Amino acid sequence: MKNIVILISGRGSNMQAIVEAAIPGARIAAVIANRPDAAGLAWAAERGIAAVGLDHKQFASREAFDEHLAAKIDAFAPDLVVLAGFMRILTPQFTARYEGRMLNIHPSLLPSFPGLHTHQRAIDMGCKVAGCTVHFVTAELDHGPIVAQGVVPVLDDDTEATLAARVLQQEHQLYPEAVRRFAAGELTLCNGRVAGVGADAANLALQVPRV
């Protein structure tokens, strides 16, 4: 059984999708937020999951917060740390601590559009498709070995909000599947790339809905 610790900052819709997927061989050991009032904490607690709120504003530095956060995470002996809308830039020391066992989901087809406002940037650039990317976390923001990507069309009348909603639907499918594959030991890091995505798994690594 793999222990999973999920980090959130708000309602944690991807966290909820992962919990509700009831992934075989995976135990959601804890949900931790950098905001004590994060709505996702109450949701997790109602389901019997340990829910921990840490106010990052109470720490003198990013390094101090990350050190305290790591101690809270390690108390649950995690095999995998999952960032699910965790809106904090992590220090290199923190990312190194969980190298190869920390996943993030980003609302763009990386390496395109790292950072914020991904959906509007895709619309402004005239992209015909957009999507989301699950990747292993490294010290470089929104980089790291790519595990899986979900693709959606960009429609002529899309707004940032409508495109974001369509991408989020893909996130809720893609992220639990990526966690399942990790828990099952199906993902291998080799020379900075993720192995374990063969032809039989292509539909899991790249989801392309019909327009």
pLDDT at 195: 85
DSSP SS3 for 154: coil
Structure tokens at 44: 């997790």
172 is catalytic: no
Phi and psi based region of residue 11 (left: phi greater than 0; alpha: psi -120 to 50; beta: remaining)? alpha
- Read off the pLDDT of each residue in 175-197 and give the average, rounded to a whole number: 92
Q: Which two tokens stand for residue 83?
A: 């960032």
pLDDT digits (tens, 9 = 90+) for 101-125: 999 999 999 999 999 999 999 999 9
Catalytic residue among 56, 106, 135, 143: 106
Chain segment 41-77, per-residue pLDDT in tens: 999 999 999 999 999 999 999 999 999 999 999 999 9
How big is the chain, counted in residues? Answer: 211
